[in-house]
Amino acid sequence: MRIQYGSGSRKGSNPQLSKESGKVVLNQFTDSIKKQVGGSICPEHGLHPTVKVKGRNFDKVEFEVSGCCQKVIDIVNKRLK
């Protein structure tokens, strides 16, 4: 599974966090996403999806899921809710 951080996203940048603390928070956030959807594989094609994270901070995050077909996208979206 691939996780990307899209335009408008600031990887761990928060004026209240140091650069090192921001990296820790980002790693924890990424690990959380992987736990929720990391095992998702398309039942028809055997391919992993890509989750793109969009947002300026962790309070207002949006996910954009892409994959080989709508079936895997629906599976991942359901797990992200």
d(CA 7, CA 33): 18
Number of domains in the chain: 1
Phi, psi values for residue 40, rounded to 5° = -75, 120
Where the chain has pLDDT below 70, the residues are 7-17
Q: How much is the pLDDT for 47?
A: 96
Q: What is the mean pLDDT of the chain?
A: 84
Q: Which domain holds residue 28?
A: 2-80
Q: How much is the pLDDT for 7?
A: 58
